[in-house]
Amino acid sequence: MSYGEKIWIFPDAELPPMGVNCIPGHESIIITNTGDVDAHITITLLYTDKDSVTIPGITVGARRVRCLRTNEEKDFGSHTAVTGEQYAIMLESDEPVIAQYGRAEPRTVAFYTTPGYCTSKQD
């Protein structure tokens, strides 16, 4: 049995700058696939002042977890996050997955995670 949904939205994404005592900020999307079939993911980045970008070809293996760092080229290709830029993340999967957004916020020396809005309904 697999758990989760096929569409996840994270409306508040922003790669934080270097913080207190040179602690680097970072953010990531963590995707868990509890099913017996690989999940094929497409991520769309939505911006306030420029066209959206789509990143296809992300796979999360069956019964696996994968962490994607938004500032890592190996995860986001040429669309890595820019420090301080406000954007949103939409994740679409062909299999149900569970997704979570995490941010290390060095300006206040905090780390938090949040589940996104999710739905499997497609109109």
Residue 71's pLDDT is 83
Q: In angstroms, rounded to a whole number, what is the distance separating the alpha carbons of residues 34 and 96? A: 8
Residue 110's pLDDT is 59
Average pLDDT over residues 46-66: 94
pTM (predicted TM-score): 0.84
Cα separations in angstroms, 92 against 67, 112, 123: 16, 23, 14
Residue 44's pLDDT is 95
Tokens of 74: 């190996």
pLDDT tens sequence across 28-41: 899 999 999 999 99
Residue 8's pLDDT is 94
Share of the chain above pLDDT 70, in %: 77
Q: In angstroms, rounded to a whole number, what is the distance separating the alpha carbons of residues 19 and 16? A: 8
Beta strand residue intervals within 1-52, DSSP E: 5-13, 26-33, 39-47
Of the candidate ranges 12-21, 26-35, 73-82, 113-122, the one whose mean pLDDT is the lowest = 113-122
Non-local CB neighbours of 43 within 8 Å, separated by 6+ positions? 29, 54, 55, 58, 68, 76, 89, 90, 91, 92
